[in-house]
């Protein structure tokens, strides 16, 4: 397991050393859009810390000190509070939002590994939130677990069409949601 240096920006050479790859491989990943980078006026690539972490995770390179990140989106405070407490007790890093708008902002900043997403939010339907998130390159690999009171066949079909990976009907048990979360993240129970 590697340790990411305490820096906010990395050069391609530094990123290559961190990943145990060649500089050419890092440049190719940037050119293919697999690794986000900006260019200096001199034409050199610079990689932000969040983008470096996203790339390391995509490559399944474990980084010491990085917990799985979960964004909990639900307009019911009691549900958010309960899920956050349980997830933190399980060792996950958490953040929360009460609306679809807040969720979009949080995804951009937090780069979660999983979003636990209520479908019936007060401002934006959870399916629309998921479709928007899937358009962003930094969030395409993020897993999404929908929480919903909707149980109709057509509703469930629309949930999956929106890009949601799995769903759980409300009300749910702690055991059921933790099993789904662990399964989606590939973490042993």
pTM greater than 0.75 (yes/no): no
pLDDT given at position 110 = 83
Nearest alpha carbon to residue 164 among 156, 154, 173, 172: 156
pLDDT given at position 90 = 85
- β-pairing verdict for 45-48 and 69-73: unpaired
Exposure class string for 28-59: b at 16+ Cβ within 10 A, else e: ebbeeeebbbeeeeeeebbbeeebbbbbbbee
Strand-pair partners of 2? 63
pLDDT given at position 3 = 74
The rounded distance, in Å, linking the Cα atoms of 66 and 64 is 6
pLDDT given at position 86 = 94
The rounded distance, in Å, linking the Cα atoms of 151 and 158 is 11
Are residues 15 and 28 in contact, defined by beta-carbon separation less than 8 angstroms? no
Strand-pair partners of 169? 148
Helical (H) or strand (E) element with 109: helix 100-110
Task: Say how many C-beta atoms besides its own lie within 10 A of residue 156's C-beta.
Answer: 16
pLDDT given at position 35 = 94
pLDDT given at position 148 = 93
pLDDT in single tens digits along all 189 residues of the chain: 677 787 889 999 999 998 889 999 999 999 999 999 999 999 999 999 888 988 887 777 777 666 789 999 999 999 999 999 999 888 888 999 999 999 999 998 888 999 999 999 999 999 999 999 888 877 878 999 999 999 899 999 999 999 999 999 999 999 999 999 999 998 776
Task: Say how many C-beta atoms besides its own lie within 10 A of residue 171's C-beta.
Answer: 9
pLDDT given at position 1 = 63
The rounded distance, in Å, linking the Cα atoms of 72 and 113 is 11
The rounded distance, in Å, linking the Cα atoms of 75 and 182 is 23
Task: Say how many C-beta atoms besides its own lie within 10 A of residue 188's C-beta.
Answer: 5
Residue 150 in tokens: 């909707």
Q: Classify 154 as helix, strand or coil.
A: helix
């Amino acid at each position: 397991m590697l340790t990411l240096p305490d820096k906010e920006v990395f050069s391609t050479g530094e990123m290559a050393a961190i990943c145990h790859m060649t500089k050419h491989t890092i440049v190719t990943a940037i050119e293919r859009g697999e690794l986000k980078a900006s260019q200096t006026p001199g034409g050199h690539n610079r990689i932000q810390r969040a983008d470096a972490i996203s790339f390391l995770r995509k490559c399944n390179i474990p980084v010491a000190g990085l917990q799985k990140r979960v964004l909990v989106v639900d307009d019911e405070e009691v549900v958010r509070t309960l899920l956050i407490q349980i997830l933190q007790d399980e060792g996950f890093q958490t953040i929360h939002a009460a609306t679809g708008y807040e969720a979009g902002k949080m995804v951009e900043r937090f780069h979660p590994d999983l979003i636990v997403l209520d479908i019936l939010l007060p401002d934006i339907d959870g399916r629309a939130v998921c479709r928007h998130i899937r358009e962003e390159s930094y969030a395409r690999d993020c897993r999404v677990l929908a929480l919903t009171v909707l149980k109709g066949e057509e509703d469930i079909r629309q949930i999956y069409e929106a890009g949601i990976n799995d769903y759980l009907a409300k009300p749910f048990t702690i055991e059921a949601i933790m099993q789904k979360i662990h399964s989606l993240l590939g973490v042993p129970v």
